[in-house]
């Protein structure tokens, strides 16, 4: 799902490392100053700390789901430096892990939305989770219930854009490249997203220069306007404008 080069580079504080014996990671991503790896169940989480070369296995707990069951991860999102959420395409649920307590919590999504709520790497910005969808982006507000402290994803907001490139979602890089940091909460703010695909090696070599051929890189940038909600989050309020 996500390929990360763990070989040490001058600007990166991680050493060369191998995955734990007998473990096949379904996904690896960075949470704060550590890497997190997940296998085909949520019973264990594997952590690679900063300036370390050995993965550490931690056993997790949950009061609401069977952690020994196989999981099909359709996507993930890092919420902050201590928590993240993954989407199970088999149950249509999202599950949130707090890295301090190592306890999984189910995050319910709208029932009409199918095949997991997240696709590959998603982004959490100002209380909303942005994920790719056919023809554009879906934005969900991550809400904490005032009654029991449980989490749920509110009804998605569909931002239509990138209609051609998003339908070909394999090997896509989705990132936030800018946002308005103005402290004036009375006005609209904006986010800028970037979607890129391509640049992957093709079979054969150039006829003029002995070097590998690569696919063309396609890049799209989209501006999304947001406005503060009663809960203090920032909701997208108008369709994105393509650049």
The model's pLDDT over 123-142, given as tens digits with 9 standing for 90+, comes to 999 999 998 877 678 889 99
pLDDT band of 52, cuts 50, 70, 90: confident
Q: Is the pLDDT of residue 6 over 50?
A: no
Looking at residue 214, what is its pLDDT?
60
Q: Is the pLDDT of residue 204 over 70?
A: no
Mean pLDDT of the chain: 77
Looking at residue 89, what is its pLDDT?
83
- By 3-state DSSP, what share of the chain in percent is helix, strand and coil, each rounded to 5? 0, 50, 50
Alpha helix segments (H runs only) across 83-200: 163-167
What is the arithmetic mean of pLDDT over 221-231?
A: 85
Q: Which of 149-153, 181-185, 211-215 has the highest mean pLDDT?
A: 149-153
- Distances in Å between the Cα of 49 and the Cα atoms of 14, 61, 67 are 8, 21, 24
Q: Is the pLDDT of residue 96 over 80?
A: yes
Burial category of 16 from C-beta neighbours within 10 Å (exposed 0-12, middle 13-18, buried 19 and up): exposed
């Amino acid at each position: 799902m996500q390929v990360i080069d763990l070989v040490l580079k001058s600007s990166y504080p991680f050493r060369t490392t191998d995955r734990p014996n007998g473990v096949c990671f379904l996904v690896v991503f960075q949470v704060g100053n550590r890497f997190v790896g997940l296998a085909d169940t949520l019973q264990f989480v594997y952590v690679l700390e900063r300036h370390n070369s050995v993965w550490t296995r931690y056993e997790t707990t949950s009061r609401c789901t069977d952690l020994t069951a196989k999981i099909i991860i359709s996507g993930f999102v890092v919420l902050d430096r201590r928590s993240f959420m993954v989407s199970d395409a088999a149950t249509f649920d999202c599950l949130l892990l707090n890295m301090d307590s190592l306890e999984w919590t189910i995050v319910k999504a709208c029932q009409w939305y199918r095949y997991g709520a997240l696709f590959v790497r998603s982004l959490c910005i100002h209380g909303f989770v942005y994920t790719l969808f056919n023809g554009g982006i879906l934005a969900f507000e991550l809400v904490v219930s005032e009654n029991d402290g449980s989490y749920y994803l509110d009804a998605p907001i569909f931002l239509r854009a990138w209609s051609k490139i998003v339908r070909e979602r394999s090997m896509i890089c989705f990132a936030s490249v800018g946002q308005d940091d103005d402290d004036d909460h009375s006005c609209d703010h904006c986010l800028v997203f970037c979607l890129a695909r391509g640049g992957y090696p093709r079979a054969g070599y150039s006829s003029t220069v002995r070097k590998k051929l690569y696919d063309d890189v396609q890049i799209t940038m989209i501006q999304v306007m947001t406005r503060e909600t009663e809960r203090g989050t920032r909701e997208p309020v108008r369709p994105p404008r393509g650049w």
